[in-house]
Amino acid sequence: MANESHEHPNYMLIFWWLLGLTILEVMVPVVITASVPKIALLVSMAVAKAALVALYFMHLRFEKSMLGVIALTPMIICAFLLFMLMPDSSWRWIG
Amino acid sequence: MSQAATAGHGAVDTYETPLTPESWGKLGMWIFLAGDAMSFGALLAAYGAYRFGAADWPNPGDALGITLTAGMTFLLICSSVTMVKSLEAMQAGDRPSAIRFLSMTVGGGIIFLGLQAYEWTHLIHEGMKLAENAFIIDGNGVVVGNLVHGDQVGPGQMIGNSLFGTTFYMTTGFHGLHVFSGVVYLSIVLIKMIGGSYGPGNTNVIEIAGLYWHFVDLVWILVFTFVYLV
């Protein structure tokens, strides 16, 4: 049971996606200077890359859903933490 | 006492539920990684709170070397690929390839640590320390000079926030510690693999070690974006 092998994804295809997104990420700050679109694009690409690593390299896509719940929990808590800290840093923009 | 209770006393429960994991070791590693992810989440959230609350934050693209760290990111992605290739090779019974790919993974981790040490040394010489900052910036955070190079703070310019170095070294240092731990962990797995401890039907330990290494790669993807690019 412990050694059931997963369906193997095409790891090299994931690698090329990760490499392509990394090259695009490095180009974004050079091409886009406006902060909101730049941050939105960079964060989207980073989340996409992290999802590719978790889903395919860490095999989360092929695991039982409980492991997905364990993996999602810290993300939800960290997102909550981020919103909790926002008022502390927003004084610069509103004050 | 019922027959079931008598018979079951001291016996291992063999019933499976939808929550029973494929491997308890893998479940343990995922729970550890979830806790570890919260540590990194706290560091990155603190970084965000300090950065967006400060008007004197240097532009990371000017102060830090993006080219080197992009190379380091590429290196970690490559090492993740060699890690899964090692597992795949062992599952297929190809031990020499599994050993070769795992050696490449360990080598990638060691080179990453060397590059990080080089980067830190360079930045410390540039006056960016744990609680000091020598970068001179204009009102938009663009680095226009450095106190270490003898530059003076001109009109409309200021010295960058000292928390820039604090958050940088804490976050990248915590990640570097994980890379170091990963190199030690994978080296032990490699030694056992060379010794013949694993085979096509016994790859669970390699997969669990791989989970840790991919997590280190995943976190770097986020650190690279938030600390260097944004």
The DSSP result for B37-65, as a single string, is HHHHHHHHHHHHHHHHT-S-PPPHHHHS-
- State the pLDDT at residue B61: 87
* Segment 124-163 of chain B within 8 Å of chain A by CB: none
CB contact under 8 A, B37 and A8: no
**From A13-27, A76-90, B140-154, B168-182, the region with the lowest mean pLDDT:** A76-90
Higher local confidence (pLDDT), B108 or B51: B108
pLDDT digits (tens, 9 = 90+) for A27-60: 998 898 888 899 999 999 999 999 999 999 999 9
Name the closest residue on chain A to residue B202, using Cα atoms.
A3
Mean per-residue pLDDT over chain B, rounded? 90
* Residue boundaries of the structural domains of chain B: 22-229
Which residues in chain A are closer than 8 Å to B38, comparing Cβ atoms? 74, 77-78
* Residue boundaries of the structural domains of chain A: 11-58, 63-90
Mean pLDDT of B199-226: 95
**Tokens at B198, concatenated:** 């694993």
Name the closest residue on chain A to residue B52, using Cα atoms.
A89
CATH 1.20.1560.10 applies to domain B22-229: no
- State the pLDDT at residue B17: 67
- State the pLDDT at residue A79: 87
CB contact under 8 A, B229 and A74: no
- Whether residue A9 contacts residue B85, with contact meaning beta carbons closer than 8 Å, is answered with no
B175/A contact by beta carbon, under 8 A = no
Examine the pLDDT at B7 and tell me if it is beyond 70: no
Which residues in chain A are closer than 8 Å to B31, comparing Cβ atoms? 70
